[in-house]
C-alpha cells in the first residue's frame, strides 16, 4: 500500500538561514534541513539579502529534510510557511525576477523618510491605523525607497507590472510559479500599510507613500489555501502562513488573553495576547495581529528587542572571547560578584520601548579586572533586562499582563543561566517548553489543522508541555537595584 499523507513540512525562512522541518501526525520532529546564507551590508546601517539565496536555500532545505526522512511529496499533507518579517522584496509580475536585493528588517536606510513623515504630522494617523510606530523597521518605507531609487521601478509599478511582498509572499509566488500572490494577516500587519481595524490594506497610507495598491498581495487567514507547489515532486498544498513571531506565539499555544511568549533569536520578540480587541499602546509598544483564523483576528501587544542572541555572537565573532555560544552560561557563573558591568547592546539602535535608532552600544562599570566572565554575564543579563523593559510597558498598557507566566523559546532559551536570571529580574515564572522549535511547530500546526490531521486550538493547547519552569530566586531589592542600574546605563547611552 502507498503511504498516506500524514506528515507536514514547515518552511522556516529566517534572517541568517533557511530551515525545513518535517513533523509527523503527532507533531513530533522527524527531520531538519538547514542552510545558512550570506548577509550583505552595502552601506552603514543597510542590510540586504540576495532574493535567490532566500529561495534556493529554502528549496534545498526542504528537499534535504524530505530525503533525511525518506519521504516523498505523496507523504506530505501540507506545507506551513513562517518567515522573517518586514523584509521587503519587489519583483516583476511576469518573470518573478526581483529588481533589487531584499531589504532586511534590520535595515535603517529609510530613517530620513520616517523623519519627514513625522515632521509632516502623519505619525499619529499611522499609529492609530496600523498599531505601529513610524520606524524604518517596517516594510512600507522600504517599499517606497525601492520605488523611488530603482531605475524604472515606479513607472513599472504604476503600470501594474510589479509585485511587492514580504518573504512569505515571495516564497508563495515562487512555489506556485506565479499563480498566487498572497500573504497572511500577521505578515500584512507588519508592513505599516495594513489597517488593523478593517483588516485590509490602507488606501490612505498607500496614497501618502505613493504606493500603487496593485503591488500588494491578497490577505488571507493564517490557515488557508495558498495554492499548490511542485517543489517536492508532486502537487503539495500550502495551507498555513504566519510571520515568525506570531508562529512562535501559536506554537507556544498562547491562545488565551493574557498569555505571553518571548522568543530569543538574533533579537527578542515578546507577544502578549490581548484577545479580540487591539490595545493601542501608550508605552511605545506595537499593536499587531497575533493570528487570524476563520476570518476572526486575535490581537497582541508586541515588544521588539533588536539584539538578544546577537550579543552572544558579538562576544564570539567581534571580541573573540568565546568559541561557542554555549560557553556563556558557565562563564557567567564564574564572574566576579563585586563587579556591576552593564552592556547596552544597541548595535543597531534601541527597539521597544525606546525606539531610538541612533543610539549605539555602550559598556558601563569597567574595571581593570573586567574580563571574559564579566562580559559574558553582562551580555546574558542585558537580554533579561531588556525583557523587563517590555513586560513593564505591557503591564502599563494592559492590566491583564500583571500575572503573566512567560513562555520562552529560541536558541538562548536553552541556557539555564540566562533563563534563571530572566525569571529573577522579572520576578515572574518562566516556562521553557519541551519542544523549542515553536516557530516551525506553529506553522506546521496551522497547515496540519487546515489539512484535518492536527487537533483544533483547544486540543493543541492541551498537548503543550513545559520541560522546565524557572522560579524567581532574586530578592526584590537586588532586582530593583539591578534594573535601576540598567535604566541609568540606557539613559547615558542615549545621550552620547
Do the domains 7-243 and 253-433+465-496 sit in the same CATH topology, yes or no?
yes
At 137, is the pLDDT very low, low, confident or very high (cuts 50, 70, 90)? confident
Length, in residues, of the chain: 496
Would you say 138 and 132 are in contact if contact means Cβ atoms under 8 Å apart? yes
Nearest to 445 by CA among 184, 58, 80: 80
> 89-92 and 162-165: which strand pairing?
antiparallel
Model confidence pLDDT, tens digit, residues 243-300: 999 999 999 999 989 889 999 888 889 999 999 989 999 888 999 999 999 999 999 9
Distance between CA atoms of residues 429 and 420, nearest Å: 9
Nearest to 442 by CA among 245, 266, 170: 245
Q: What is the pLDDT of residue 489?
A: 96
Would you say 395 and 258 are in contact if contact means Cβ atoms under 8 Å apart? no
Which of the listed ranges 235-249, 304-318, 433-447 does the model predict with the highest average pLDDT?
235-249
Would you say 331 and 322 are in contact if contact means Cβ atoms under 8 Å apart? yes
Model confidence pLDDT, tens digit, residues 13-59: 998 899 999 999 999 999 999 999 998 999 888 999 999 999 999 99
Would you say 17 and 34 are in contact if contact means Cβ atoms under 8 Å apart? yes
7-243 folds as Nucleotidyltransferase; domain 5 (3.30.420)
Model confidence pLDDT, tens digit, residues 165-216: 999 999 999 999 999 999 999 999 999 999 999 999 999 999 999 999 999 9
Nearest to 496 by CA among 351, 350, 395, 353: 350
Q: What is the pTM of this model?
A: 0.89
Radius of gyration (C-alpha) of the chain in whole angstroms: 22
Q: Where are the alpha helices (DSSP H) in 317-437?
A: 327-333, 372-397, 416-426
Please state the rounded mean pLDDT for residues 157-163: 95
Higher pLDDT, 273 or 106: 273
Higher pLDDT, 327 or 238: 238
Distance between CA atoms of residues 75 and 5, nearest Å: 4
Largest CA distance in the chain: 71
Q: What is the pLDDT of residue 306?
A: 84
C-alpha cell at 74: 505523496
C-alpha cell at 305: 528587542
Model confidence pLDDT, tens digit, residues 435-470: 878 999 999 999 999 999 999 999 999 989 889 999
What's the mean per-residue pLDDT of the chain? 92
- DSSP-assigned states of every residue in 302-333: EEEES-SHHHHHIIIIII---SSTTHHHHHHH
Please state the rounded mean pLDDT for residues 90-117: 94
Nearest to 379 by CA among 309, 293, 449, 452: 309
At 2, is the pLDDT very low, low, confident or very high (cuts 50, 70, 90)? very low
Q: What is the pLDDT of residue 403?
A: 62
Residue 387 CB neighbours (<10 A): 24
Distance between CA atoms of residues 486 and 283, nearest Å: 18
Residues near 351 by beta carbon (within 8 Å), at least 6 away in sequence = 137, 267, 303, 304, 305, 306
Q: What is the pLDDT of residue 98?
A: 97
Residue 146: φ, ψ to 5°: -60, -45
Residues near 368 by beta carbon (within 8 Å), at least 6 away in sequence = none
- DSSP letter, residue 295: T
At 381, is the pLDDT very low, low, confident or very high (cuts 50, 70, 90)? very high
Would you say 195 and 187 are in contact if contact means Cβ atoms under 8 Å apart? no
Model confidence pLDDT, tens digit, residues 77-100: 999 999 999 999 999 999 999 999
Q: What is the pLDDT of residue 401?
A: 63
- Counting residues of the chain whose pLDDT is more than 70, the rounded percentage is 98
Residue 204 CB neighbours (<10 A): 13
Model confidence pLDDT, tens digit, residues 469-479: 999 999 999 99
Would you say 71 and 21 are in contact if contact means Cβ atoms under 8 Å apart? no
**Per-residue pLDDT for 3 more than 80?**
no
Architecture of domain 253-433+465-496: 2-Layer Sandwich (3.30)
C-alpha cell at 446: 496551522
Distance between CA atoms of residues 175 and 66, nearest Å: 16
At 4, is the pLDDT very low, low, confident or very high (cuts 50, 70, 90)? low
Would you say 44 and 276 are in contact if contact means Cβ atoms under 8 Å apart? no
Residue ranges of domains in the chain = 7-243, 253-433+465-496
Residue 160 CB neighbours (<10 A): 11
CA angle (270 as vertex; 265, 276 as ends), nearest 5:
140
Q: What is the pLDDT of residue 108?
A: 87
Amino acid at each position: 500500500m502507498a503511504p498516506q499523507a500524514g506528515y507536514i513540512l514547515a518552511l522556516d525562512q529566517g534572517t541568517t538561514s533557511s530551515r525545513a522541518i518535517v513533523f509527523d501526525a503527532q507533531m513530533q520532529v522527524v527531520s531538519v534541513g538547514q542552510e545558512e546564507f550570506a548577509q550583505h551590508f552595502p552601506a552603514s546601517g543597510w542590510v540586504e539579502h540576495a532574493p535567490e539565496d532566500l529561495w534556493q536555500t529554502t528549496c534545498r532545505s526542504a528537499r534535504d529534510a524530505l530525503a533525511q526522512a525518506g519521504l516523498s511529496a505523496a507523504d506530505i499533507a501540507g506545507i506551513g510557511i513562517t518567515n522573517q518579517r518586514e523584509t521587503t522584496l519587489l519583483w516583476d509580475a511576469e518573470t518573478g525576477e526581483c529588481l533589487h536585493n531584499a531589504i532586511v528588517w534590520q535595515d535603517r536606510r529609510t530613517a530620513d523618510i520616517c523623519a519627514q513623515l513625522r515632521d509632516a504630522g502623519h505619525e499619529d494617523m499611522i499609529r492609530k491605523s496600523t498599531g505601529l510606530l513610524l520606524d524604518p523597521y517596517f516594510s512600507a518605507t522600504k517599499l517606497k525607497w525601492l520605488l523611488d531609487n530603482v531605475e524604472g521601478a515606479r513607472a513599472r509599478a504604476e503600470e501594474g507590472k510589479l509585485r511587492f511582498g514580504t518573504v512569505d509572499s515571495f516564497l508563495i509566488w515562487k512555489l506556485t510559479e506565479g499563480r498566487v500572490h498572497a500573504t497572511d494577516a500577521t505578515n500584512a500587519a507588519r508592513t505599516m500599510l495594513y489597517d488593523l481595524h478593517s483588516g485590509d490594506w490602507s488606501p490612505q497610507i498607500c496614497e501618502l507613500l505613493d504606493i500603487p495598491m496593485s503591488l500588494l498581495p491578497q490577505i488571507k487567514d493564517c490557515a488557508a489555501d495558498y495554492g499548490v507547489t511542485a517543489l517536492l515532486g508532486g502537487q503539495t498544498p500550502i495551507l498555513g502562513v504566519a510571520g515568525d513571531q506570531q508562529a512562535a506565539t501559536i506554537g507556544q499555544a498562547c491562545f488565551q488573553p493574557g498569555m505571553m511568549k518571548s522568543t530569543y533569536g538574533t533579537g527578542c520578540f515578546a507577544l502578549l495576547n490581548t484577545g479580540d480587541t487591539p490595545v493601542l499602546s501608550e508605552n511605545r509598544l506595537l499593536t499587531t495581529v497575533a493570528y487570524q483564523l476563520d476570518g476572526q483576528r486575535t490581537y497582541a501587544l508586541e515588544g521588539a528587542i533588536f539584539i538578544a542572541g546577537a550579543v552572544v555572537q558579538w562576544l564570539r565573532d567581534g571580541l573573540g572571547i568565546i568559541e561557542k555560544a554555549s560557553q556563556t552560561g558557565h562563564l557567567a557563573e564564574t564572574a566576579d560578584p563585586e563587579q556591576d558591568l552593564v552592556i547596552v547592546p544597541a548595535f543597531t539602535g534601541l527597539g521597544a520601548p525606546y525606539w531610538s535608532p541612533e543610539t549605539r552600544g555602550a559598556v558601563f562599570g569597567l574595571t581593570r579586572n573586567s574580563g571574559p566572565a564579566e562580559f559574558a554575564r553582562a551580555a546574558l543579563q542585558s537580554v533579561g533586562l531588556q525583557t523587563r523593559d517590555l513586560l513593564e510597558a505591557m503591564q502599563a498598557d494592559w492590566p491583564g499582563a500583571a500575572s503573566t507566566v512567560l513562555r520562552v523559546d529560541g536558541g538562548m532559551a536553552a541556557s539555564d543561566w540566562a533563563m534563571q536570571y530572566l525569571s529573577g529580574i522579572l520576578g515572574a515564572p518562566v516556562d521553557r517548553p519541551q519542544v523549542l522549535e515553536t516557530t516551525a511547530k506553529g506553522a506546521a500546526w496551522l497547515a496540519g489543522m487546515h489539512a484535518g490531521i492536527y487537533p483544533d486550538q483547544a486540543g493543541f493547547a492541551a498537548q503543550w508541555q513545559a520541560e522546565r519552569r524557572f522560579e524567581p530566586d532574586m530578592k526584590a531589592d537586588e532586582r530593583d537595584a539591578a534594573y535601576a542600574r540598567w535604566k541609568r546605563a540606557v539613559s547615558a547611552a542615549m545621550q552620547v
